[in-house]
């Protein structure tokens, strides 16, 4: 089959990948379903697994990258899934699996765990369906299972990064759960973010974000959940008592990643940064708010809830740009890595 194949690592992903026409087609096995891939959406984790010092030890070479997929069922273990050969589906191959086995989605065929695959809602295309899984699981894990977001509980939620792949779905989920939502973006993304229905938008380029939050949300309008889906900035957490309720939860999906660019020294800095956030008690100057660094874990019930929200149009696909399969390198990866994409970067495979 045709596949983009990682042939080296520790270099820019654009240099690591080669388009090959004779890569072995995977075969279905117990618990896994073979699908013909129509569309793939990109996520930062997949290129970071190739490029980032330390993290790239996990990446198998040769291997195929990418996790989010939409396609049609070809073969495999369909027992208990309600799926049939030929069904249009969407789902996730977790990045840990693509890294360990080398079997990711940026190819004509991929196998997916039968519990992480479901019918594609009819009201979205393959390109649109592929945008949801990883980013929406991340938003659901962060806001609902970790942050404690509940339907109709009138909670106040702050989401940093409302225009990114995770942010566009986090804002919609928080709205679907009736929360009061405040989010951030630059002026270039404002129109898009406004269309997702948040109650307030802060332009993080206008004034330092922490200053804006302290000025506007330090009275009896503090947040129940602060969700950082953009920067991992330690200060946003350490200053949070000013705008996060005492029993509120600070949820982060970025953490001290920026330090990892600096090899061993960066690793030590990242470790110190995390100790400071997670275990330093408040009597020793630690921040008196709960902090959780979330590593996305997909679940079948969340996948079904995701599909229902899509059918009800409470979760609308946000596509930044669709690229052809041959354009994955350099165009699609350049766009994803720019940190400026609005919603999701998609590759149409066939």
Ligand X SMILES: NC(=O)c1ccc[n+]([C@@H]2O[C@H](COP(=O)([O-])OP(=O)(O)OC[C@H]3O[C@@H](n4cnc5c(N)ncnc54)[C@H](OP(=O)(O)O)[C@@H]3O)[C@@H](O)[C@H]2O)c1
Residues that bind ligand X (CB under 6 A): 43-45, 135, 138, 160-161, 163-167, 184-186, 188-189, 204, 229-231, 253-254, 257, 294-296, 339-342
Nearest residue (CB) to ligand X, 103 versus 136: 136
Q: Which residues pair with 203 in a beta bridge?
A: 185
Nearest approach, Cβ of residue 166 and ligand X (Å): 4
Nearest residue (CB) to ligand X, 76 versus 256: 256
**Measured between alpha carbons, how far is residue 259 from residues 25, 56, 269, 270, 280 in Å?**
38, 15, 6, 6, 20
Q: Are strands 223-228 and 3-6 parallel, antiparallel or unpaired?
A: unpaired
Nearest approach, Cβ of residue 234 and ligand X (Å): 14
Nearest approach, Cβ of residue 320 and ligand X (Å): 8
Nearest residue (CB) to ligand X, 75 versus 197: 197
State the helix-helix crossing angle for 133-140 and 165-176, rounded to 10 degrees.
Answer: 50
Nearest residue (CB) to ligand X, 81 versus 336: 336
Nearest approach, Cβ of residue 78 and ligand X (Å): 28
CA–CA dist 205, 343 (Å, integer): 19
Q: Are strands 344-348 and 319-324 parallel, antiparallel or unpaired?
A: parallel
Residues 28, 29, 32, 34: what is their CA dihedral angle, to the nearest 10 degrees?
Answer: 0
Nearest approach, Cβ of residue 21 and ligand X (Å): 30
Nearest residue (CB) to ligand X, 6 versus 83: 6
Inter-residue contact 77 to 40 (CB < 8 Å): no
Backbone φ, ψ for residue 29 (5° rounding): -145, 170
Nearest approach, Cβ of residue 55 and ligand X (Å): 10
Nearest residue (CB) to ligand X, 41 versus 83: 41
Instruction: Report, in this order, helix, strand and coil percent for the chain, each rounded to 5.
Output: 35, 25, 40
Nearest approach, Cβ of residue 151 and ligand X (Å): 23
Non-local CB neighbours of 92 within 8 Å, separated by 6+ positions: 67, 68, 69, 112, 116, 133, 134, 137, 298, 303
**Tokens at 75, concatenated:** 């073969």
Q: Which residues pair with 293 in a beta bridge?
A: 252
Nearest residue (CB) to ligand X, 88 versus 253: 253
Nearest approach, Cβ of residue 183 and ligand X (Å): 9
Other beta carbons within 10 Å of 131: 30
CA–CA dist 26, 1 (Å, integer): 9
CA–CA dist 123, 1 (Å, integer): 30
Nearest residue (CB) to ligand X, 44 versus 91: 44
Q: Which residues pair with 117 in a beta bridge?
A: 91
């Amino acid at each position: 089959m045709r596949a983009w194949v990682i042939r080296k690592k520790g270099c820019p992903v654009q240099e690591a990948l080669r388009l090959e026409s004779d890569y072995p087609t995977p075969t279905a096995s117990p618990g896994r379903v073979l699908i013909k891939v129509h569309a793939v959406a990109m996520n930062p984790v997949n290129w970071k697994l190739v490029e980032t010092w330390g993290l790239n030890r996990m990446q198998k070479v040769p291997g195929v990258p990418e996790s989010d997929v939409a396609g049609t069922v070809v073969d495999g273990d369909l027992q208990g899934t309600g799926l049939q050969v030929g069904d249009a589906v969407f789902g996730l191959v977790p990045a840990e699996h693509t890294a360990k086995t080398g079997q990711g989605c940026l190819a004509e065929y991929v196998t997916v765990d039968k519990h992480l695959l479901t019918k594609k809602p009819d009201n979205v295309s393959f390109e649109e369906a592929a945008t949801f899984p990883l980013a929406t699981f991340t938003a659901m894990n962060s806001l609902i299972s970790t942050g404690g977001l509940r339907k109709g509980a009138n909670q106040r939620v702050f989401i940093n990064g409302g225009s990114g792949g995770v942010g566009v779905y986090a804002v919609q989920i928080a709205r679907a759960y009736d929360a009061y939502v405040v989010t951030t973006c630059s002026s270039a993304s404002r129109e898009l973010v406004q269309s997702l229905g948040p109650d307030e938008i802060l332009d993080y380029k206008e004034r330092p974000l922490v200053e804006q939050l302290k000025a506007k949300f330090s009275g009896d309008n503090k947040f129940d959940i602060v969700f950082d889906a953009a920067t991992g900035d330690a200060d946003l957490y350490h200053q949070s008592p000013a705008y996060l309720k005492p029993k509120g939860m600070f949820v982060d999906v970025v953490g001290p990643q920026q330090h990892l660019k600096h090899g061993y020294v960066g690793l030590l800095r990242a470790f110190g940064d995390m100790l400071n956030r997670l275990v330093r008690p408040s009597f020793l100057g630690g921040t008196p708010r709960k902090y959780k660094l979330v590593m996305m874990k997909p679940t079948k019930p969340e996948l079904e809830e995701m599909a229902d929200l899509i059918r009800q149009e409470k979760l609308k696909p946000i596509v930044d740009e669709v690229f052809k399969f041959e354009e994955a390198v350099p165009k699609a990866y350049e766009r994803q890595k720019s940190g400026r994409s609005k919603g999701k970067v998609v590759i149409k495979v066939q």
